[in-house]
Amino acid sequence: MRSFVVSSLSAAVLLVQGCTPPRTTGDGGAEGEGEGEVSGDVCDLGTVSVRVPDVDGVSALGGAPDLSCIGNPAAVGSSVPLTVEGCVDIFGVGNLAERDTEVALFAADVDPKTGTPLATGIVAVTNQASGLACDGANADAPACRAFDCSSEGFYRLTGPVPSNTPVTIRISHPTASIVVDTYVWGLVFRDSDATDGVYNYEAPIIYSSTYDSIPTLSGRFVTGAADLGDGVGNGVIAGEVHDCNDVIVENAVVGMTGFERSTMSTVYFDGEEDPGPDPLRTATASDGLYAVLNVPGDVERQIVAGVRDTACAGEDCQCLSLGSRTVKTYADSVSIVVLEGDFPVIAP
């Protein structure tokens, strides 16, 4: 699985500063507040009902999205230990990585806020390379590897990471309040995508300057955002919708259990090179981007995505699932979730 396309949503967050589009529903519905009903069939995706627009889902490669893994997950080999490392990507405002940011990886059944990580790593930056032989004996040191990163920050997890198994990553900082706690859910590091046992994953860092701009998305303020780091408030869920080949899907609808129309909003983006929110969209554009705003924390939720079933029409039609993920939000944090079909399963 590729890492979440941070650059796309980063640009979107930057562009929405000062923009206040109308609110849209977050249960997959096609009604904007005050906008009236938009055509489309209501259908169920597990425990979530969504309204799917009367347009076909489209893969970014053209044609229908690949749904072959839905209900028929891909079989992968036994889990093997990997080394996970990579550059830091700045999510939104900011150019340089913050030294000593922690990247921690957790098993999928462990709460990443309070549980014990399987592996951790500390972000090193280029100004820590003084005295190191980066052209020689210390070339693989994180501070030296940081010179190859646009953010000038690099990390390496200490401890083996299981391949072919869902995990969660938390990015946080022990003292710097400008780093917003970020959780990346539903990651699977396939050993087939590793090189000599090393998997490269670009970990996102979100700064408070970016988080401060998020409330302008869909005109929905995030409760508690004015006092980041005090542990009181709501959060944001954001991500992309992909098919079973990890390709972005257009015209997909995202829904969530426990969505409250009066206090939360879902927004989709416009698919432009520098994406921004499209107040008229009720499904993903060619960038596959979505965001759910003002989500209360400490509650486990299911995020689902679906597209119109082109094989039928009328009231009895059901949409086709693009997969689901379980996610938890926390106060003053961002949870990143890429929906891309069913998790692979380890073959017996």
CB neighbour list of residue 343: distance below 8 Å, 6 or more residues apart: 73, 166, 186, 188
Share of the chain above pLDDT 90, in %: 61
| Number of C-beta neighbours around residue 316 at 10 A | 8
What's the rounded mean pLDDT across residues 211-221?
70
Give the model confidence (pLDDT) of 26-37 as tens digits: 444 433 332 334
The better pLDDT of the pair 254, 220 is held by 254
C-alpha 219 chain-centroid distance? 21
pLDDT range class, residue 305, cuts 50, 70, 90: very high
* pLDDT tens by residue, 45-57: 878 888 888 888 9
- Which whole number is the average pLDDT over 159-188? 95
Q: Does 231 have pLDDT greater than 90?
A: no
Q: What is the pLDDT of residues 49-94, one digit of tens each?
A: 888 888 889 999 999 999 999 999 999 999 999 999 999 999 777 8
Angle formed at CA 322 by CA 67 and CA 239, multiple of 5 degrees = 130
Rounded mean pLDDT of the chain? 85
**E strand or H helix at 226, and its extent?**
none
Q: Cα(132)–Cα(127) distance, rounded to whole angstroms?
A: 11
Work out the percent of the chain whose per-residue pLDDT is above 70.
85
